[in-house]
């Protein structure tokens, strides 16, 4: 009888890692929801001490805390837990750089909708109705409750604090005088532009319900006197007067026909020589990377009408609206930048 060695099998590490990936996310989500990192900022604690403060079972909480140690979020020494700097900075609710809003929004809204990704792929539509029985305008879903609005805005704020300084540095914007940030939320992009360019003034233009809640996030900035918050709907209301419009994480929400409408409105409002700055994750030309942009494009499938795009796709949309001189820049941060001009 002849014996044959079986062929070498490929390394299963990638598959095994992906099987475990949601467990890691949920460990962090749960620790944030329970308030672990906020409590450990004040003092290091044992699992028993923390369980009393958080109304959690000591043995079960210890497993969660040890999981956070394994994830590189907490430190454990002699049975006492404390935050590592990454958790103090990004997972503590009162940190100025907190990403808790995005964590809470991901846990409460995105995670359940991603459970219906198969249906989203089959039908090509978002999952708000299927998951939460919600109809109506898209952003009424994001803002369906006061807490949902707060978590979403804080998520965009924390994400923007990471990306906006690099975005406004991607091109020399010093020749512009007034930046209108459409859908600008807490004003992180407008503030970053004013901090980098001393002659720029900025307008944050967003829905009335957003504007009335976000002014307070700018009050501690040294450039707050150069930023104005204006309520409005950029699809329907008159746009502010500006020579540079910014669209940060806006275009990826919408289909091409709505994007063309918005870009044309901007083009008509701009003076000759004015520009539009698009802030999004850029897909590679062949759409096989980078991985964060691919995952975000799937995220857009489950929760919006839109998707992520390549620089060439944005350039085509911009040229259709009348813009020229389209340039793209990878920032090295979660969001990239595209600049185009009205000739």
> Each residue of 304-335: pLDDT tens digit?
999 999 999 999 999 999 999 999 999 999 99
Are residues 67 and 173 both part of a single domain?
A: no
CB-CB contact of 272 with 322 (8 Å): no
pLDDT in the model for residue 2 = 55
CB-CB contact of 254 with 317 (8 Å): no
pLDDT in the model for residue 314 = 98
Into how many domains does the chain fold?
A: 2
Counting residues of the chain whose pLDDT is more than 90, the rounded percentage is: 81
| Domain contains 55 | yes
pLDDT in the model for residue 4 = 60
pLDDT in the model for residue 52 = 93
- Domain of residue 315 covers 117-341
Counting residues of the chain whose pLDDT is more than 70, the rounded percentage is: 97
Q: Is 198 exposed, middle or buried (0-12, 13-18, 19+ CB in 10 A)?
A: exposed
CB-CB contact of 27 with 64 (8 Å): yes
Are residues 204 and 271 both part of a single domain?
A: yes
| Domain contains 219 | yes
Write down the mean pLDDT value for the chain.
94
Are residues 53 and 133 both part of a single domain?
A: no
Q: Is 316 exposed, middle or buried (0-12, 13-18, 19+ CB in 10 A)?
A: middle
pLDDT in the model for residue 83 = 98
Are residues 22 and 69 both part of a single domain?
A: yes
pLDDT in the model for residue 92 = 95
Are residues 285 and 141 both part of a single domain?
A: yes
Mean pLDDT of 37-61: 95
Are residues 56 and 128 both part of a single domain?
A: no
Instruction: Return the active site residues.
Output: 252
CB-CB contact of 27 with 71 (8 Å): yes
Q: Please confirm whether the linkage preceding 47 is cis (ω < 30° from 0).
A: no
> Each residue of 199-212: pLDDT tens digit?
999 999 999 988 98
Q: Please give the model's pTM, rounded to 2 decimal places.
A: 0.91
| Domain contains 107 | no
Distance CA(155)–CA(34), nearest Å, equals: 18
Last residue of a domain, one of 94, 127, 160: 94
> Each residue of 286-311: pLDDT tens digit?
999 999 999 999 999 999 999 999 99
Are residues 126 and 87 both part of a single domain?
A: no
Are residues 79 and 127 both part of a single domain?
A: no
- Residue 87, domain CATH: 1.10.10.10
> Each residue of 96-116: pLDDT tens digit?
889 999 999 999 999 999 999
């Amino acid at each position: 009888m002849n014996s044959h060695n079986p062929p070498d099998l490929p390394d299963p590490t990638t598959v095994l890692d992906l099987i475990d990936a949601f467990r890691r996310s949920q460990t962090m989500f749960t620790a944030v929801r329970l308030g672990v990192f906020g409590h450990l900022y004040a003092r290091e604690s044992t699992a028993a001490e923390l369980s009393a403060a958080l109304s959690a079972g000591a043995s079960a909480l210890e497993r969660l805390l040890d999981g956070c140690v394994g994830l590189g979020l907490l430190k454990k020494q002699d049975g006492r837990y404390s935050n590592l700097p990454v958790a103090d900075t990004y997972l503590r609710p009162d940190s100025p750089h907190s990403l808790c809003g995005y964590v809470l929004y991901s846990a409460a809204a995105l995670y359940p909708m991603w459970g219906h990704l198969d249906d989203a792929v089959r039908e090509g539509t978002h999952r708000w109705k299927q998951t939460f029985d919600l109809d109506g305008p898209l952003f009424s879903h994001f803002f369906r409750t006061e807490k949902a609005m707060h978590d979403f805005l804080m998520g965009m704020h924390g994400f923007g604090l990471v990306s906006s300084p690099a975005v406004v540095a991607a091109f020399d914007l010093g020749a512009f005088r007034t930046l209108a940030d459409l859908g600008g939320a807490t004003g992180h992009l407008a503030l970053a532009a004013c901090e980098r360019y001393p002659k720029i003034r900025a307008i944050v233009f967003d829905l009335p319900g957003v504007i009335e809640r976000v002014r307070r996030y700018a009050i501690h900035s040294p450039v707050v006197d150069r930023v104005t918050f204006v309520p409005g709907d950029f699809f329907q209301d008159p746009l502010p007067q500006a020579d540079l419009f910014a669209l940060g994480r806006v275009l990826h929400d919408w289909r091409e026909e709505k994007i063309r409408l918005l870009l044309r409105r901007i083009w008509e409002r701009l003076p000759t020589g004015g520009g539009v700055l698009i802030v999004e994750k850029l897909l590679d030309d062949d759409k096989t990377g980078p991985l964060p942009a691919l995952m975000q494009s799937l995220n857009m499938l489950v929760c919006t009408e839109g998707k992520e795009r390549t620089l060439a796709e944005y350039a085509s949309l911009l040229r259709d609206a009348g813009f020229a001189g389209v340039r793209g820049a990878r920032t090295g941060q979660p969001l990239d930048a595209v600049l185009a001009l009205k000739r």
